[in-house]
Structure 1
Amino acid sequence: MPAQEPNLDIDVAIRDARTAVLSVRGELDMETAGPLEARLAEQFGQGRGRLVLDLSDLAFMDSSGLNVLIRATQRARGLDGDLYLAAPTPAVRRILEITGVTAATPPHADVAAALAAAGG
C-alpha cells in the first residue's frame, strides 16, 4: 500500500533480501523529504542496501530532496550496496546534472536497467 504524504506517493516493491524498488511520485521538497527519508531508512534497517528509486513520475525535486538522495547513497554504500536512480523526469534530471549528482550516481533509463546494474 502506498504511503500517502502531501504531494508525494511512495510505493515499495521488495525484489529480494538486499534489493527494493521505491517508486516516487509527486513532488519531493522540504515538506515531503522526511517521509521519503523514513521509507529509505526502513529499507536500510531491514538489510536492503541496493535501492532503486523509480523517478519516472517525480515532477519536482528541490535541494531537500537532493540531500535525501545524497545521504541515502552514502548509507547504501556503507552497507555494501548503492542507490540506483531510474528514469528521472527532465526537470529532476536537470537538478541532478547541475549539482553533479549524476557523476557519482548516474541515472538509468528505466527500472529494469537500474535493477540490472544492482545485480538483481
Structure 2
Amino acid sequence: MAETEGQPANEAFHVATHRTGFTETVTVTGELDLATAPALAAAVSEAIAAGVGKIVLDASGLTYIDSIGISLLVRAWNEMKGRATMPVVVTNLQPNVRRVLEVCGIVNLVTE
C-alpha cells in the first residue's frame, strides 16, 4: 500500500493506494481542495500510467471537496474512459460530498 501526505497546510489530508489486479483503490481522508489535490492527482496519475482498468476512490473519510477536486475526478474519468464501463468510481460518499457531486451533475458519472 502506497501512502502520500497532502501539503503541510492541511495535516489531516491523507491518500493511500492499494492495487488488486487491474483495480486501484485510492482511499482519501480529509479535505480535497487546492492545497491537497496534488497528492490525489499524483496517486491517480500513477495508477493511470500503470495501466489499471479501474480506479475506485474510497471517500469514506473525505469530508470536503471543492471545484479542484471535482475537476480532478472528471479529468481522471476522461483519461480512463474506454478501459471499463465505470472507469472511475467513488464509493462511501459522505452526504455533504455527495451533494456537491449532485450539484455539479457528476454523481451518476462516478457512482454505481
TM-score range, shorter chain: 0.7 to 0.9
- Partner residue of 2:3? 2
- Partner residue of 2:73? 69
Q: Which runs of 4+ in 1 moved over 2 A?
A: none
Given the two structures, how large is their TM-score scaled by the length of structure 2? 0.87
**Structure 2 runs not aligned, ≥5 long:** none
Deviations 1:55-107 (Å, cap 9, x if unpaired)?
011000000101000101111114x13001101111110100011001322x2
Contact 1:49 1:77 in 2 (8 A): no
Residue 14 of structure 1, aligned match among 7, 14, 19: 19
Q: 2:77, 2:13 → 1: CA distance? A: 20
AA matched with 2:96: A
Q: Secondary structure at the match of 1:2?
A: strand
Question: How many pairs were matched up?
Answer: 105
Q: CA deviation at 1:15?
A: 1.0
Identity of aligned residues (%): 30
Greater helix content: 1
Q: 2:39, 2:5 → 1: CA distance? A: 9
CA-based RMSD: 1.3
- Partner residue of 1:45? 49
Given the two structures, how large is their TM-score scaled by the length of structure 1? 0.82
Q: Secondary structure at the match of 2:78?
A: helix
Residue 32 of structure 1, aligned match among 29, 36, 53: 36
In the TM superposition, 1:83-102 aligns within 5 A as 83-102=88-107
**Structure 1 runs not aligned, ≥5 long:** 109-120
Q: CA deviation at 1:20?
A: 1.0
